Amino acid sequence: MQPPPIHSWHWLDASDLQAVIDALRGEGRRVIGPKVADGAVILGDLVSVAELPTGWLDEQDGGSYRLRQDPAAGSFDHVVGPHSLKNFLFPARETLVSFAREDGVWHEQAAAPPAAPLAVLGVRGCDLAALRIQDRVFLGNGFVDEAYRSRRERLFLVAVNCRRAVATCFCHSTGCGPAVEAGFDLALTEVDGRFACEVGSEEGARVLSEAGIVDAPLSTDEAETVRRVPHDLASRMHARQATDGVPRPRSLDTHGIRDLLMANPEHPRWDDVATRCLSCTNCTLVCPTCFCASVQEVTDLTGDHVDRERQWASCFSLDHSRMHGQPTRSTTSSRYRQWLTHKFAGWIDQFGTSGCTGCGRCITWCPVGIDVTEEIAAIRATDGVTVAREEASS
Amino acid sequence: MTMASPWPTASHIDPWQTHSTRIAAIADETEGVRSYRLRFDDAAVGDAFRFAAGQFNMLYVPGVGEAAISISSDPEDVGTLTHTVRAVGNVTDALARLTVGDQVFVRGPFGTPWPVDRVMDRDVVFVAGGLGLASQRSAILRAALPGTCRHATVLHGAKRPGELLYTGEYDAWRRAGVTVATIVDEGGPAWNGRCGLVTALLDDAIDDPARTTVLCCGPDPMMVGVAEKAIDMGVSIDAIFLSLERTMACAAAHCGLCQFGPLFVCRDGPVLRYDRIGLLMKVPRL
Ligand SMILES: Cc1cc2nc3c(=O)[nH]c(=O)nc-3n(C[C@H](O)[C@H](O)[C@H](O)COP(=O)(O)OP(=O)(O)OC[C@H]3O[C@@H](n4cnc5c(N)ncnc54)[C@H](O)[C@@H]3O)c2cc1C
Ligand code: SF4
Ligand code: SF4
């Protein structure tokens, strides 16, 4: 069977989507997708389309996340949950290298064979943007993280065009969504209980034909209508209109944001937000681009085998900046400044891109609802105000 | 999306690649500070291992952990490396318990070098606070060679006379034409040298500020003091270089721990030109 051309569109129904999952699993991939667990839509191992959160909607706002059932909701009308691609490509704990001692001599152990390649279903525009950002961190900065690369190169992505946003979404401000433009193998747009599937790569075409799907192309008119779905959502987000009865999405003025934040290291807002921030680290853990990590020695009982384990670290913890036994960023104010200034300003110097995709996770999962868009707006509104140096160092 | 390697694949850019070395010699420097001469187990690896003065390695003691340590030996000394280490904690204490013949893993070299290859027509003033001199020794050895610079000066400050580093080498440096001056915080009865801050030594060391390059390593406040005084004396801000210290886990701009404003100290530093960092260094708790 001839694989379908790249950028061709095909109708899939639920059983076709199942055939795609089966084809991916059939070639030895671990398939990950959204499913409901513990009151949230998480990313987990997916065997059947029946596990998708069909009929579930999430309502998100500062510090709140609720799931509710809605018979009209499709399989992908929920948006992003606490997990992101980061959890799989840059896992929270991972052995980087192992050493073993034989006859008193230590040897670096050969790397473990790579785990099964991943396929992830239901990846949003903001998720693809986060992936591009992490690619720059782990592959494009002069040093290559081999563990990341091994997973990244073999990753198969089934993206989704959002047709609904929640109140914490602001991908329209960052230019990361809601439409998925590139960087996927297949992309789905849900319409009337079916999925319009765009082929994004040769690998995507191969998998579709493997799944036996080649002969349900969309008409030109249908493709036009489908393409409009995420763009209509974008227009509503730009107009800051309520979608689906949920509060209007947030927005962020990104104009000159690097210079704005770099110029305000002693703005009083840092102390203000510090009275609310618990330094709990949630925002950095759910953020799909945060990459900080520490390395721990994990020794077995004999002491003859050591795994060097990389673990996520957070700029909100005192250990993150500990030097000579003292944390450099000893106050919540200085730690919040580090998080926000790195994400929205320093990142641009480091990687030529903002570190924020507008996914809104940090707003939803902050226990006290601190909102990056609001903090930045507050600094912008009072650009240049400073606290006295004595106060700043108290 | 699945992708065919658009990024380089050479193994030398895998930052976790370690090399096994043995301690060939240990020299006691000052109390709690020892210099370790390391020889690569695999001579071919040792021959291929090249570094520039001012760069650092991650030294690894299996089961204990890693520490960033400057390379203190001459870059031309191929096959062995010298690291001068103060025992202050986990890894450095473990190193202090090792003896000749013991195994230490090395990965590196990392970071930016001192600009000693670009100072031919300039006076170079090294300013070191305490163990900061360890990061400068390899550059001092380069600067002592004829033709590297117009004149080299080493200004070294320490808390006490017993903490002055590499004192046994000053005569050799002086014979090579290097001016060496020392100063301590508290001298004690046996000390007949100068007492005070190392900044006090700058007055005599800089006589042609327009042609002077200042290379400084020490605690942050000391380095800011040196840089600001050098600027006041007429040294150009882009002729002042500081070597920063921040705790780091990877040395490859991946772990994020050593961030200093928008800079990764491991990759953009440790040696940084003062015009890039002067303002950042004055922000409290950055
Ligand atoms: C680029 C670079 C070059 C360097 N070059 C050198 C060099 O040439 N020589 C050298 O000796 N060092 C050098 N350092 C510093 C060196 O990396 C650190 O001293 C080293 O990492 C300490 O590691 P450790 O595991 O021994 O100490 P750690 O166990 O990490 O402890 C470090 C410090 O924290 C204190 N500490 C740790 N835990 C606590 C706690 N719970 N409460 C209070 N205090 C605590 C310790 O007393 C110590 O002062 C360099 C650093 C950098 C970044
Ligand atoms: S900073 Fe917040 S909104 Fe931006 S990518 Fe991270 S979690 Fe998402
Ligand atoms: S901003 Fe919110 S999520 Fe982030 S550390 Fe502070 S309290 Fe936790």
**ipTM of the complex in this document:** 0.92
| Structure confidence at residue A2 (pLDDT) | 78
Residues B218 and B161 reside in one and the same domain: yes
Cα of A390 to nearest chain B Cα, Å? 10
Residues A231 and A282 reside in one and the same domain: no
* Distances, alpha carbon A139 to alpha carbons A118, A153, B101, B254, B263, in Å: 18, 11, 37, 10, 18
Residue A393's CB: how many other CB atoms inside 10 A? Answer: 12
pLDDT single digits (tens) A355-394: 999 999 999 999 999 999 999 999 999 999 988 655 444 3
B98 strand-pairing partners: none
Q: Is residue A60 part of a domain?
A: yes
The domain tally of chain A equals: 2
Pick the closest to residue A56 from A37, A45, A70 (CA basis).
A70
Residues A232 and A261 reside in one and the same domain: no
Q: Is residue B8 part of a domain?
A: no
CA distance linking residue A125 with residue A136, whole number of Å: 17
CA distance linking residue B271 with residue B251, whole number of Å: 14
Looking at residue B155, its amino acid is L
Give A31's contacts (C-beta < 8 A, 6+ positions apart). A21, A24, A25, A45, A46, A47, A118, A119, A120, A121
Interface contact A313-B255, CB threshold 8 A: yes
SS3 category, A166: coil
* Distances, alpha carbon A163 to alpha carbons A36, A60, A159, A233, in Å: 19, 16, 13, 6
Domain region containing A353: 257-393
Looking at residue B4, its amino acid is A
Residue B6's CB: how many other CB atoms inside 10 A? Answer: 9
Residues A21 and A151 reside in one and the same domain: yes
Q: Is residue A153 part of a domain?
A: yes
Residues B76 and B153 reside in one and the same domain: no
Contact of A268 with A385, CB cutoff 8 Å: yes
Residues B127 and B95 reside in one and the same domain: no
Residues A190 and A304 reside in one and the same domain: no
Q: Which of A11-15, A110-114, B270-274 has the lowest mean pLDDT?
A: A110-114
The CATH number that applies at residue B263 is: 3.40.50.80
A45 strand-pairing partners: A32
Question: What string of H, E and C letters represents the secondary structure of B217-249?
Answer: ECCHHHHHHHHHHHHHCCCCHHHEEEECCCCCC
Q: Is residue B7 part of a domain?
A: no
Cα of B59 to nearest chain A Cα, Å? 14
Q: Is residue A283 part of a domain?
A: yes
Residues B220 and B100 reside in one and the same domain: no
Q: Is residue A305 part of a domain?
A: yes
pLDDT single digits (tens) A267-306: 999 999 999 999 999 999 999 999 999 999 999 999 999 9
Mutate to test the pocket of ligand 3, among A366, A374, A376 (most ligand atoms within 8 A of CB): A366
Looking at residue A144, its amino acid is V
Mutate to test the pocket of ligand 1, among B26, B72, B140, B245 (most ligand atoms within 8 A of CB): B245
Instruction: State chain A's maximal CA–CA distance in angstroms.
Output: 74
Residues A199 and A50 reside in one and the same domain: yes
Residues B151 and B269 reside in one and the same domain: yes
Mutate to test the pocket of ligand 2, among A287, A341, A344, A371 (most ligand atoms within 8 A of CB): A287
Q: Is residue B2 part of a domain?
A: no
Query: Which B residues in the span 211-250 are in contact with A, Cβ-Cβ below 8 Å?
Result: 245-247, 249-250
Pick the closest to residue A89 from A148, A140, A142 (CA basis).
A148
Residues A51 and A142 reside in one and the same domain: yes
Residues A53 and A192 reside in one and the same domain: yes
pLDDT band at A113 (very low <50, low <70, confident <90, very high): confident
Q: Is residue A251 part of a domain?
A: no
CA distance linking residue B266 with residue B270, whole number of Å: 6
Interface contact A265-B283, CB threshold 8 A: yes
Residue B221, judged by CB atoms within 10 A of its CB (0-12, 13-18, 19+), counts as exposed
Residues B96 and B128 reside in one and the same domain: no
Interface test mutation site (partner B, options A29, A121, A136, A143, max chain B beta carbons within 10 A):
A143
Contact of A318 with A294, CB cutoff 8 Å: no
Looking at residue A20, its amino acid is V
Residues B105 and B153 reside in one and the same domain: no
B70 strand-pairing partners: B56
Is the pLDDT reported for residue A246 higher than 90? no
Residues A194 and A306 reside in one and the same domain: no
Mean pLDDT of A89-117: 94
Query: Which of A203, A238, A273 lies at the terminal end of a domain, its last residue?
Result: A238
Length of chain A as a residue count:
394
Pick the closest to residue B173 from B148, B206, B191 (CA basis).
B148
Q: Is residue B275 part of a domain?
A: yes
Buried b (16+ CB within 10 A) or exposed e, A302-315: eeebbbbbbebbbb
Give the one of B13, B257, B262 whose C-beta lies nearest to A294's C-beta. B257
Q: Is residue B203 part of a domain?
A: yes
| Structure confidence at residue A107 (pLDDT) | 96
Give the one of A96, A329, A349 whose C-beta lies nearest to B285's C-beta. A329
Kindly identify the ligand whose nearest atom is closest to the C-alpha of B92.
1
Residues B91 and B136 reside in one and the same domain: no
Residues B58 and B184 reside in one and the same domain: no
Residues B180 and B205 reside in one and the same domain: yes
Residues B32 and B58 reside in one and the same domain: yes
Residues A135 and A232 reside in one and the same domain: yes
Pick the closest to residue A380 from A238, A277, A258 (CA basis).
A258
Cβ neighbours of A154 in B, within 8 Å: 2
Strand spans (E) along B31-122: 33-40, 56-61, 65-70, 80-86, 103-110
SS3 category, A51: helix
CA distance linking residue B62 with residue B29, whole number of Å: 25
Kindly identify the ligand whose nearest atom is closest to the C-alpha of A366.
3
Enter the DSSP assignment of B190.
T
Pick the closest to residue A68 from A60, A77, A76, A59 (CA basis).
A59
Query: Which of B77, B110, B143 lies at the terminal end of a domain, its last residue?
Result: B110
Cα dihedral across residues B243, B245, B246, B247: positive or negative: positive
pLDDT single digits (tens) A117-137: 999 999 999 999 999 999 999
For residue B87, the ligand 1 atom closest to its alpha carbon is 26
Q: Is residue A247 part of a domain?
A: no
Residues A272 and A225 reside in one and the same domain: no
Looking at residue B147, its amino acid is G
Interface contact A141-B254, CB threshold 8 A: yes
Half-sphere exposure of A305 (CA within 13 A, CB side): 6
CA distance linking residue A11 with residue A384, whole number of Å: 54
Domain region containing B131: 123-281
Residue B4's CB: how many other CB atoms inside 10 A? Answer: 5
Q: Is residue B64 part of a domain?
A: yes
Query: Which of B59, B86, B110 lies at the terminal end of a domain, its last residue?
Result: B110
Residues A261 and A230 reside in one and the same domain: no
The CATH number that applies at residue B90 is: 2.40.30.10
The domain tally of chain B equals: 2
* Distances, alpha carbon A313 to alpha carbons A183, B184, B261, in Å: 28, 39, 18
Query: Which of A204, A238, A272 lies at the terminal end of a domain, its last residue?
Result: A238
Q: Is residue A244 part of a domain?
A: no
Give A208's contacts (C-beta < 8 A, 6+ positions apart). A3, A4, A10, A20, A186, A197, A199, A214
A186 strand-pairing partners: A158, A199
For residue A279, the ligand 3 atom closest to its alpha carbon is 5
Interface contact B254-A315, CB threshold 8 A: no
pLDDT band at A243 (very low <50, low <70, confident <90, very high): low
Interface contact B1-A183, CB threshold 8 A: yes
Query: Which of A207, A238, A269 lies at the terminal end of a domain, its last residue?
Result: A238
| Structure confidence at residue A393 (pLDDT) | 43
Contact of A125 with A178, CB cutoff 8 Å: yes
Interface contact B254-A145, CB threshold 8 A: yes
In chain B, which stretches have pLDDT less than 50? Answer: 4-12
Strands A93-102, A105-108: pairing kind = antiparallel
Q: Is residue B3 part of a domain?
A: no
Residues A232 and A279 reside in one and the same domain: no
Residues B30 and B94 reside in one and the same domain: yes
Q: Is residue B47 part of a domain?
A: yes
For residue A221, give the H/E element and its range.
Answer: helix A220-238
Q: Is residue A115 part of a domain?
A: yes
Evaluate if pTM is beyond 0.90: yes
Query: Which of B52, B79, B110 lies at the terminal end of a domain, its last residue?
Result: B110
